[in-house]
Chains A and B, each alone.
Chain A
Amino acid sequence: MNLLYLTVLFPLLGYVILSWSRGRLSENLAALVGVGSLFLAAFTTAFVGYQFLTTPPEGGVFTQTLWTWINVDGFAPRIAFHLDGLSLTMLGVITGVGALIHMFASWYMRGEEGYSRFFSYMNLFVASMVVLVLADNLLLMYLGWEGVGLCSYLLIGFYYKEKANGAAAQKAFIVTRVGDVFMALGLFLLFREAGTLDIPVLLQKAPELFVAGSVTINLIALLLLGGAVGKSAQLPLQTWLADAMAGPTPVSALIHAATMVTAGVYLIARTHPLFLLAPDVLELVGIIGAITLLIAGFSALVQTDIKRILAYSTMSQIGYMFLALGVGAWQPAIFHLMTHAFFKALLFLSSGAVILACHHEQNIFKMGGLYKQIPLIYVCFLVGGAALAALPFVTVGFYSKDEILWETYASHHQWLLVCGWIGAFMTSLYTLRLIFVTFHGPAQLEAHGGHGIAHGLPLIVLLVLSTGIGALIHPPLQGVLPNSVGHEGGDMQHWIEIYSGAIAIAGMVLAALLFTGERRLAKLLANNPAGRALGTLWYQAWGFDRLYDLIFTKPFLWLSRVLASDLLDRVTYLIAALARALNLVAGAAQNGQVRGYAASITVGALLTLLVLIAL
């Protein structure tokens, strides 16, 4: 297990090599470094994980300290890694799915300008993400947290020539930064109250330090939640994710679906003892998740860009994870995080393949009939989509989502359960819409499928993991996260399962009715005034962008424009003006006329006399 640090070091080395080469490496060499480093990290993870599971360390935690980062007046965060069941699960997802995505990217990015720059950012991202999940204290986690944000920013703006991409990148960074600042405040408050930021100490001492439900702990949990909603694109900081799709598609798969956006879920799970002491905030987590999964689901339904549909579905799936956290279904939340990484990575990579096959077309209504031209991708979409829609028994998505819904019921959150069900219905509806519109119907363009191992292998591995086989992987969370309330469900659990399955299938059937053949019904719905209004509202994701533009961006731009010439500085020029005015007055006296001087001497003398007499 002492090799744990290599999971950070390999990608970091890859980054250093690639960035120092400054684009002078050939594509093959760059791919070798970029992808190779990830596979090395993944193998290390497998090795370390094997050791961890076969010979578990004492207390279920292995800690590796590299050095003391800072040591000031009792504040001494270390650069240290903390491996337990939870971080191992995350590490596996990051390096495993990450390696596959890197491999796919080596095919996808072929011939693009900045090939090695792309891989250098990707490697740096993985290194930061691994630091985030392995961090033994919250400050180090914050390092990873900001690091992944920076890489996400760099990769969203990778195609830098388009102004819009740059804007999307900035938006992503700034919106998530707002969340990060909340998190930083949370850390300040935690440090003030607890005197440490070491996660194990903090969590262990939390029940002694804080009174359950007190203002302080509520505030801490709320601030941490602020960080989590920023990174995980949940209400009210969800607006950046859809625009983040401006980045290359493998980026969307890795960062904006499988790993970084789940960091918020990880943060809450990691600090769960704090949230357990703040039940009201925990409740809020669930409510945020429920609302986000609904609004994102509706938005996904009307998008036309293949990647934006997937982006909204990601938002919605993370909403499920938040919902799960909120109802105390800690383990299912992480389980869903893992399965989501499998099938969403599959869907995103497949959508990348579709986009390349269609010559960079992203509008699904300009595609159609693709199933004959790119059958492998079609199958990937079918399996991935089925997993997303939680098709009963055969897909991995069903197992994880079903657990969440069951726990929601079992913990007596009926309203949240209803939201979850509506969301499930929406999910199968928009997923099937995506598949029908893209792959069925009349063909509208000539598509060319990809070849080669780098293209096919990652897809096939992820495809297998997205089927029920993937559900055989049980994250080793026992003892790390609390057990949920409703484990012994009996009959009721089966009923919830049946309802959930039926709802998913109903959504699919409705999608088939709406989006196959002539799509008469769908057009009818979309074209009446009410449908059009709703459609526009959903298309613009409920107008959050416009709202924020109005209350934040516009006033800020106005203020910076007004102040640009430094208003306060202008004020100091008044002093200069005053001096000049005095100069004018005094200068006027020096006019060189003798009678003027004589008069002023007389007046002066008289005044002096008067003063003297008066005294």
Chain B
Amino acid sequence: MLNTILPWLILIPLLAGVLSWLSGRIHAQAPRWIALAGMVTVAVLLGTHWPSTPQNSWWGEFQAPWIPGWGISFHLGLDGLSALMVLLAALLGVIAVLASWKEVQSSVGLFHLHLSLLLAAVIGIFLALDLFLFFICWEIMLLPMYFLITLWGHDAEGGRGRFHAASKFFIYGQASGLLMLLAIIGLAFANFSTTRAVTFDYTELLQTQLDPVLGFTLMLGFFIAFAVKLPAVPFHGWLADAHQHAPTGASVDITGLLLKTSAYGILRFCLPLFPEASQRFAEIAMLIGLATVIYGGVLAFGQTHLKRLVAYTSISHMGFILIGIYAFNAVSLQGVVVMMVAGALSTAGLFVLCGQLYERLGTFDTREMGGLWTRLPTLPPIALFFAAATLGLPGLGNFVGEFLVLMGAFKVAPEITAISTVGMVLAAVFALALVHRTLYGPAKSDEKIAAPVAREQLALFIMMAGLLLIGLYPQPLLDASAGAINHIQQAVSTTTATAAHFGG
């Protein structure tokens, strides 16, 4: 039952994208509705097939031959982790469409084609069980984002322009993608040299025996590609520029989808494919995570561009995710999943708010803001809500994730975890700075600003409800991912003995 819908999860957004592009000539608003319908359909389709008791193994698989000569097939698989990610992707797709409703007025059809294409590629990443397929989706993802930034972006104050930002994004993506491609081919070769069979299939490559040096090298190829997209310091340079120039919808997708693909990639590929190497790399990865937490946090505070500020906050969060992943601990890994979902919602919420502010004030410069509490109806308390979520207030989603990550990681690496809690203080500092620079202080003028309309509020309320739900009752989410996470955790931890054997 579930097996047959898997390709549709990718095809539906693809079709919706093409349809919305074509419909743009007929009616100006039609593309929005079609794209929206596509994303809602994906969510509903997946939601209605959600297993009543999430099982341990794969919920569904789909395989069709593609390039049999090279052992490449169109192999898709869904487990709790990927299901959550696909659902999140569809949800944020909806948010992105809603957030672009007024902002994007030129080539509406084309815009939604790109948005849908991006979604299809991202869902492909979450479902792919063939490394070649995975790589294709990974690369395709870059293209729509490049165009979203160049064609509909802002040439904001002080930046180097949207073309620069988009190129930077693309080059980072390409260069790191190349490393991953090499690693994938290397892995296939290594597998070939022992089994004499060419395959790119995930499940088969999992069995590959690698000698420590090769394993470590290949693992690094994957890791760097993912670290660039995460982004982890020092590979983070593209993110703030991309956000600064991207339209709101694209920002929502960058933070909610693109970044999550990398954490997903580490969980799905880096750890199970290279358990020994990952074990040996864990401490370095956690240190990178630590640096990311602190560097992102300090930088967030120093920004005057609202979207850059939010961008660095998300970098800081990603550091915790990295720490949580490489703790290889069931609690911290489950925390990572919660953090991925909640972090996507809270950061996307902040970006939507940034967009709404921009539509009203015509600037992202926080020095031009201040005193918006009474000038701007409805939005300030909502901004406060998202800021509170970002700083990890208990009762909201991010806290659950952060706490589980840190509590789990503390068991494994108490020193790194303890130092990383500086990030919790920094989170308070930058979240409050965000609130203060916009809402507090004397108002720049007495003129009232238009209240958000129902559509704008809807987008925000969906995310707020999600954050509250995860904050107070995260169990459905945890149950869904438990099986997949256990799998991954076992894959890594059972090799401890072998890793020791190799002298790692």
Q: Judge whether B407 and A188 touch: CB under 8 Å.
A: yes
Q: Judge whether B439 and A174 touch: CB under 8 Å.
A: no
Interface of chain B residues 433 through 483 with chain A (CB within 8 A): 433, 436, 439-443, 472-475, 478, 482
| A566 sits at the interface (CB 8 A) | yes
Q: Judge whether A192 and B411 touch: CB under 8 Å.
A: yes
Q: Judge whether B441 and A163 touch: CB under 8 Å.
A: yes
Q: Judge whether B421 and A559 touch: CB under 8 Å.
A: no
Bound CA–CA A248/B302 (angstroms): 31
Chain A 469-498: CB-based contact to B (< 8 A → 1; otherwise 0): 000000000000000000000000000000
**B450 smallest CB distance to A (angstroms):** 15
| B222 sits at the interface (CB 8 A) | no
| A83 sits at the interface (CB 8 A) | no
**A247 smallest CB distance to B (angstroms):** 14
| A170 sits at the interface (CB 8 A) | yes
Q: Judge whether A563 and B410 touch: CB under 8 Å.
A: no
Bound CA–CA A68/B400 (angstroms): 13
The one of A73, A142, A170, A563 in contact with B394, judged by C-beta atoms closer than 8 angstroms, is A142
Bound CA–CA A578/B472 (angstroms): 52
**B24 smallest CB distance to A (angstroms):** 37
Bound CA–CA A184/B402 (angstroms): 11
Known: A157-B440, A161-B442, A189-B410. A174 touches B302 (CB 8 A): no
**A6 smallest CB distance to B (angstroms):** 18
Q: Judge whether B395 and A143 touch: CB under 8 Å.
A: yes
Interface of chain A residues 69 through 111 with chain B (CB within 8 A): 69-73, 75, 79
The stretch of A297-305, A459-467, A568-576 that contacts the partner chain = A568-576
Residues of B contacting A139 in the complex (Cβ-Cβ under 8 angstroms): 394, 403
The stretch of B14-22, B90-98, B372-380 that contacts the partner chain = B372-380
Residues of B contacting A534 in the complex (Cβ-Cβ under 8 angstroms): none
Bound CA–CA A126/B425 (angstroms): 24
- CB nearest to B431 among chain A residues: A173
Which DSSP category, helix, strand, loop or mixed, fits chain B's interface? Answer: helix
**A514 smallest CB distance to B (angstroms):** 41
Known: A67-B473, A564-B299. A163 touches B425 (CB 8 A): no
| A548 sits at the interface (CB 8 A) | no
Q: Judge whether A561 and B334 touch: CB under 8 Å.
A: no
| B84 sits at the interface (CB 8 A) | no
The stretch of B74-82, B139-147, B232-240 that contacts the partner chain = B232-240
Q: Judge whether A71 and B478 touch: CB under 8 Å.
A: yes
Residues of A contacting B394 in the complex (Cβ-Cβ under 8 angstroms): 139, 142-143, 145-147
Known: A160-B441, A170-B432. A563 touches B298 (CB 8 A): yes
Bound CA–CA A258/B437 (angstroms): 31
Chain A 42-68: CB-based contact to B (< 8 A → 1; otherwise 0): 000000000000000000000000011
| B331 sits at the interface (CB 8 A) | yes
Bound CA–CA A329/B335 (angstroms): 40
Known: A160-B439, A560-B301. A73 touches B395 (CB 8 A): no
**Range, interface on chain A:** 35 or more
Bound CA–CA A559/B294 (angstroms): 12
**A442 smallest CB distance to B (angstroms):** 37
Bound CA–CA A165/B441 (angstroms): 9
Bound CA–CA A571/B410 (angstroms): 33
- CB nearest to A141 among chain B residues: B394
The one of A72, A147, A561 in contact with B393, judged by C-beta atoms closer than 8 angstroms, is A147
Q: Judge whether A70 and B406 touch: CB under 8 Å.
A: no
| A9 sits at the interface (CB 8 A) | no
| B277 sits at the interface (CB 8 A) | no
Bound CA–CA A436/B407 (angstroms): 54
Q: Judge whether A568 and B234 touch: CB under 8 Å.
A: yes
Q: Judge whether A161 and B441 touch: CB under 8 Å.
A: yes
Q: Judge whether A174 and B432 touch: CB under 8 Å.
A: yes
**A126 smallest CB distance to B (angstroms):** 15
Residues of B contacting A163 in the complex (Cβ-Cβ under 8 angstroms): 440-442
**A184 smallest CB distance to B (angstroms):** 7
- CB nearest to B428 among chain A residues: A177
**B171 smallest CB distance to A (angstroms):** 9
Known: A72-B404, A177-B425, A563-B298. A572 touches B237 (CB 8 A): yes
| B47 sits at the interface (CB 8 A) | no
Residues of B contacting A161 in the complex (Cβ-Cβ under 8 angstroms): 371, 440-443
Q: Judge whether A185 and B421 touch: CB under 8 Å.
A: yes
Residues of B contacting A571 in the complex (Cβ-Cβ under 8 angstroms): 234
| B418 sits at the interface (CB 8 A) | yes
The one of B330, B414, B425 in contact with A72, judged by C-beta atoms closer than 8 angstroms, is B330
Q: Judge whether A560 and B473 touch: CB under 8 Å.
A: no
Bound CA–CA A189/B410 (angstroms): 8
Bound CA–CA A564/B240 (angstroms): 12
- CB nearest to A163 among chain B residues: B441
The one of B299, B388, B475 in contact with A150, judged by C-beta atoms closer than 8 angstroms, is B388
Q: Judge whether B302 and A181 touch: CB under 8 Å.
A: no
Q: Judge whether B299 and A560 touch: CB under 8 Å.
A: yes
Q: Judge whether A173 and B428 touch: CB under 8 Å.
A: yes
Known: A161-B443, A560-B302. A572 touches B407 (CB 8 A): no
**Range, interface on chain B:** 35 or more
Bound CA–CA A232/B395 (angstroms): 22
- CB nearest to A72 among chain B residues: B334
The one of B298, B403, B421 in contact with A560, judged by C-beta atoms closer than 8 angstroms, is B298
Chain A 171-195: CB-based contact to B (< 8 A → 1; otherwise 0): 0011001101100110111011000
Chain B 21-43: CB-based contact to A (< 8 A → 1; otherwise 0): 00000000000000000000000
Residues of A contacting B377 in the complex (Cβ-Cβ under 8 angstroms): 22
**B123 smallest CB distance to A (angstroms):** 27
Bound CA–CA A147/B396 (angstroms): 11
Q: Judge whether B237 and A568 touch: CB under 8 Å.
A: yes
Bound CA–CA A189/B407 (angstroms): 8
Bound CA–CA A187/B299 (angstroms): 29
Q: Judge whether B299 and A563 touch: CB under 8 Å.
A: yes
The one of B237, B388, B475 in contact with A68, judged by C-beta atoms closer than 8 angstroms, is B475
Interface of chain A residues 268 through 323 with chain B (CB within 8 A): none
**A549 smallest CB distance to B (angstroms):** 15
Bound CA–CA A153/B442 (angstroms): 18
- CB nearest to B304 among chain A residues: A564
Q: Judge whether B407 and A75 touch: CB under 8 Å.
A: yes
Bound CA–CA A145/B411 (angstroms): 24
**B491 smallest CB distance to A (angstroms):** 16
| A556 sits at the interface (CB 8 A) | yes
The one of B421, B422, B429 in contact with A174, judged by C-beta atoms closer than 8 angstroms, is B429
**A37 smallest CB distance to B (angstroms):** 19
| A536 sits at the interface (CB 8 A) | no
- CB nearest to A170 among chain B residues: B432
Bound CA–CA A189/B406 (angstroms): 11
Max count, chain A CB within 10 A of own CB: residue among B331, B428, B478: B428
- CB nearest to B392 among chain A residues: A146
Residues of B contacting A184 in the complex (Cβ-Cβ under 8 angstroms): 403, 406, 421, 424
Q: Judge whether A188 and B371 touch: CB under 8 Å.
A: no
Residues of B contacting A71 in the complex (Cβ-Cβ under 8 angstroms): 475, 478
- CB nearest to A182 among chain B residues: B421
Known: A564-B302, A566-B240. A160 touches B331 (CB 8 A): no
- CB nearest to A22 among chain B residues: B378
| A19 sits at the interface (CB 8 A) | yes
**A385 smallest CB distance to B (angstroms):** 35
- CB nearest to A197 among chain B residues: B407
Known: A72-B330, A161-B371, A166-B440. A564 touches B295 (CB 8 A): no
Bound CA–CA A68/B403 (angstroms): 16
**B95 smallest CB distance to A (angstroms):** 22
Residues of A contacting B428 in the complex (Cβ-Cβ under 8 angstroms): 173-174, 177
What are 15 contact pairs spanning A and B, CB under 8 A?
A69-B473, A75-B331, A139-B394, A154-B384, A157-B440, A166-B440, A170-B433, A177-B424, A192-B410, A192-B414, A561-B302, A564-B299, A566-B237, A569-B236, A569-B237
14 additional contacts, CB 8 Å, given A70-B475, A79-B472, A185-B418? A67-B473, A73-B330, A113-B374, A147-B394, A160-B439, A166-B436, A166-B440, A170-B432, A181-B421, A185-B421, A192-B410, A556-B429, A559-B298, A568-B234
Closest 4 CB pairs of A and B: A564-B302, A569-B237, A560-B302, A143-B394
